[in-house]
């Protein structure tokens, strides 16, 4: 099959492209970075250099594809430390550009990387933007089949705690405790998407993606053991303190507010209500596996 991938060679795109190529598919990878062309072509894929903000480029790139994989990247819209960036408008623009490109190219099979929280536009913080994009794509003609893939929190987000652990000796967030929540490996996401591409497409479907279910306290214990800090704790701070600290660090105020609201939804469990109604089979990569990768990065900074 001819398959087009947005998202360049990121944590998901690279293993996804590699698996599809290994299975004999023709893969075209979209990247906004010209320097990525050599890496894409070295894998055996075709490179298409352009941006999600250019619907004409997307339309031409999608033409002739059997399947198109869509994702939105926050980094492609702007820095989360730039208060001038309008992420709502940015996500809406990308959603509409994808819709125009699908209509203009005639592609009929779409795999869309959405997110946990996309089931509602209420109470999920900034994650509701994925709900908006799902709704935009949902306006496509019924002859376009879409598989909405909703991963939970990525293991790779835990890398954000490296400096916090080093300087404050703890993981400090707005929620915590012993309530388990799902996490996912980007490698497991890629494997699931590759598998879905080879299954029949019919109508609009939703699939949640997760690799493990662990509590914040378990995360601290597992990560702490891996980095040689068995006393590592996960500490909870009030929402107001978390918000103030993010603003002090220069974070976009809308992003900071959305992050605090998202963590409140994690704390209450409401973020995962639809996930547990449609609980998936867990992927192969467990937190203990990721902890080894985390330890390598953590120790490399010593």
The 10s digit of each residue's pLDDT in 194-231 is 999 999 999 999 999 999 999 999 999 999 999 999 99
Coarse DSSP helix, strand, coil percentages of the chain, rounded to the nearest 5 percent: 50, 20, 35
Check pLDDT > 70 for residue 232.
Answer: yes
Closest CA to 179 of 269, 54, 52: 269
Closest CA to 226 of 289, 296, 295, 168: 295
Domain boundaries, the chain: 2-153+183-210
Chain centroid to Cα 251, Å, comes to 20
Q: At what angle do helices 253-268 and 239-248 cross, to 10 degrees?
A: 150
Output the pTM of the full model.
Answer: 0.95
- Residue 80 near residue 17, CB atoms below 8 Å: no
Residues 240-259 have a mean pLDDT of 95
Q: Spell out where 53-126 has E strands.
A: 67-71, 109-113
Check pLDDT > 70 for residue 141.
Answer: yes
Question: What span, in angstroms and rounded, lies between the C-alpha atoms of 253 and 263?
Answer: 16
Residues 62-83 have a mean pLDDT of 92
* Predicted pLDDT of residue 188: 98
The 10s digit of each residue's pLDDT in 30-72 is 999 999 999 999 999 999 999 999 999 999 999 999 999 999 8
Check pLDDT > 70 for residue 86.
Answer: yes
Check pLDDT > 80 for residue 79.
Answer: yes
**In whole numbers, what is the pLDDT of the chain averaged over residues?**
96
Closest CA to 285 of 29, 15, 3: 15
The 10s digit of each residue's pLDDT in 276-292 is 999 999 999 999 999 99
Check pLDDT > 80 for residue 182.
Answer: yes
* Predicted pLDDT of residue 270: 95
Question: What span, in angstroms and rounded, lies between the C-alpha atoms of 121 and 130?
Answer: 9
Residues sharing a CB contact under 8 Å with residue 38, sequence separation 6 or more, in sequence order: none
In DSSP notation, 42-54 reads HHTPEEEE--TT-
* CATH code of the domain made up of 2-153+183-210: 3.40.50.720
Question: What span, in angstroms and rounded, lies between the C-alpha atoms of 167 and 187?
Answer: 30
Bridge partner residues of 213 (DSSP): 182
Residues 162-185 have a mean pLDDT of 96
Confidence of residue 302 (pLDDT cuts 50, 70, 90): low
- Residue 198 near residue 151, CB atoms below 8 Å: no
166: tokens are 């080093």
Check pLDDT > 80 for residue 88.
Answer: yes
- Residue 214 near residue 177, CB atoms below 8 Å: no
Residues 85-91 have a mean pLDDT of 93
Question: What span, in angstroms and rounded, lies between the C-alpha atoms of 215 and 181?
Answer: 6
Confidence of residue 76 (pLDDT cuts 50, 70, 90): confident
């Amino acid at each position: 099959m001819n398959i087009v991938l947005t998202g360049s060679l990121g944590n998901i795109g690279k293993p996804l492209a590699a698996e599809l190529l290994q299975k004999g598919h023709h893969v075209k990878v979209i990247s906004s970075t010209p320097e990525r062309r050599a890496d894409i072509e070295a894998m055996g894929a075709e490179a298409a250099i352009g941006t999600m903000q250019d619907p004409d480029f997307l339309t031409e790139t999608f033409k002739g594809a059997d399947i198109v994989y869509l994702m939105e990247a926050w980094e492609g819209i702007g820095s989360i430390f730039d208060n001038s960036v309008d992420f709502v408008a940015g996500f809406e623009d990308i959603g509409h550009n994808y819709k125009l490109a699908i209509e203009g190219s005639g592609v009929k099979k779409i795999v869309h990387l959405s997110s946990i929280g996309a089931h509602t536009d209420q109470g999920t913080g900034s994650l509701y933007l994925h709900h908006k994009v799902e709704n935009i794509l949902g306006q496509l003609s019924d002859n376009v089949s879409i598989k909405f893939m909703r991963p939970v929190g990525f293991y790779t987000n835990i890398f954000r705690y490296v400096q916090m652990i080093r300087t404050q000796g703890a993981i400090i967030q707005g929620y915590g405790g012993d309530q388990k929540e799902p996490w996912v490996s980007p490698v497991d996401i890629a494997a699931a998407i590759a598998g879905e591409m080879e299954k029949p497409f019919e109508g609009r479907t939703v699939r949640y993606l997760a690799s493990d279910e662990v509590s914040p306290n378990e995360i601290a214990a597992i990560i702490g053991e891996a980095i040689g800090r068995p006393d590592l704790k996960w500490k909870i701070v009030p929402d107001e303190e978390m918000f103030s600290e993010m603003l002090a660090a220069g974070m976009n105020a809308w992003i900071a507010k959305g992050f605090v609201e998202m963590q409140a939804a994690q704390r209450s469990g409401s973020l995962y209500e639809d996930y547990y109604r449609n609980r998936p089979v867990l992927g192969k990569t467990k937190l203990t596996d990721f902890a080894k990768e985390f330890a390598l990065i953590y120790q490399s900074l010593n």
